[in-house]
Structure 1
Amino acid sequence: MTGVREAALARRSCSKVTDAAPDPAELLDLVTAAGRVADHSSLRPWRLIEMRGEDRAILGRALNKADGKKGVSSKAMRAPLVIAIVAAYRKSKVPRWEQEAVASGVAHLL
């Protein structure tokens, strides 16, 4: 438990983005760990969309289009890797809010 406590206390948000990003194998390892969040009925009600390279430009155009603008939003291009976490609700006794909380937990842990 000491390692978990120390990791939580050492955690800091960093607003400066660099060109460093996990490679696909490293990302898979991180997603495997993040997928261990509490998940009632093991529904895994989340999906990840990994965007690198030109995929980020597609997202950037969609963001600008949603705002009634043309071109590519710079927000999508700031980092070499953008991950969208999507709540994928399942028909279940588990309420939607709880499934959304699981997806949020995966996003936070990742």
Structure 2
Amino acid sequence: MQNDMKLADYLRGRHSTPVAQIGEPGPSPSELESILTLAVRVPDHGKLAPWRFIVYRGDVRGRLGEAFLSIVETTAGELVDGAREAELTRFTRAPVVVAVVSTAAPHVKIPEWEQVLSAGAVCLNMLMAANAHGYVANWRTEWIAYDRRALDALGVGENEKVAGFIHIGSPQLAVPDRPRPELSSIVTYAGESDG
């Protein structure tokens, strides 16, 4: 992304890159630290920081793929080659995967829902921060975000939830934009009549 691009210009063209089209190189350790530092600059009522990150890079991604495959085959039986490959490569498709883990919990003043929304804001900020560093990214969940066995393998605690897995790397192909909703179908102006 050009340094002189205005934020509105960036947002006008912002889109996610499919995970299958993300490859090497990924962000360096210092670039990733900068991306994570920018990602946490979100609304956070009560300054609770109701989220945390787990970074998956290197060989751990392949080991997690083996764990995911084992979990699926325990339930569904042996998978065919394409499905096996999908599980084995779930985290190796991008050079870096960051779990944004929601730690939202009951609080005397801050509703849990607001804490959850803050975790979602972190996910979007991380996509934009990755783009600002010249990388592409994709925000996913998939079945592994909802399966207790997978969550244990991923290091997600019993009282935590995955807001998203952010896959970060470099584009392998140009990605066309997708259709966006027409404002007329999603915007209502309160107090204004049609006539």
TM-score (norm 2): 0.51
User: Larger Rg: 1 or 2?
Assistant: 2
C-alpha distance in structure 2 between counterparts of 1:66 and 1:45, whole Å: 29
Distance of aligned partners of 1:64 and 1:97 in 2 relative to their CA distance in 1, 3 Å threshold: farther
C-alpha distance in structure 2 between counterparts of 1:42 and 1:61, whole Å: 38
How many angstroms does 1:91 deviate by? 4.5
C-alpha distance in structure 1 between counterparts of 2:125 and 2:95, whole Å: 20
Counterpart of 1:25 (choices 27, 30, 44) is: 30
5+ long unaligned stretches in structure 1 = none
Q: How many residues align?
A: 109
Counterpart of 1:102 (choices 93, 111, 118) is: 118
C-alpha distance in structure 1 between counterparts of 2:53 and 2:16, whole Å: 21
C-alpha distance in structure 2 between counterparts of 1:12 and 1:65, whole Å: 33
Matches within 5 A, 1:8-19: 8-15=11-18, 16-19=21-24
C-alpha distance in structure 2 between counterparts of 1:35 and 1:44, whole Å: 8
C-alpha distance in structure 2 between counterparts of 1:103 and 1:62, whole Å: 26
1:43–1:90 Cα contact (<8 Å) kept: no
How many angstroms does 1:26 deviate by? 0.7
The answer for the alignment partner of 2:179 in structure 1 is none
RMSD: 2.1
C-alpha distance in structure 2 between counterparts of 1:97 and 1:66, whole Å: 31
Kindly provide the CA deviation profile for residues 29-74 of structure 1, in whole angstroms up to 9, marking residues without a partner as x. 1111110111101111111111111111232123223323577621
**More helix as a share of residues:** 1
C-alpha distance in structure 1 between counterparts of 2:118 and 2:63, whole Å: 27
TM-score (norm 1): 0.85
C-alpha distance in structure 1 between counterparts of 2:40 and 2:71, whole Å: 30
Q: Which moved more, 1:77-86 or 1:61-70?
A: 61-70
How many angstroms does 1:90 deviate by? 4.3
Counterpart of 2:95 (choices 75, 80, 83) is: 80
- Which amino acid is 1:99 matched to? Q
Counterpart of 2:7 (choices 4, 9, 12) is: 4
Deviating beyond 4 angstroms after TM superposition, the runs of 4 or more aligned structure 1 residues are 69-72
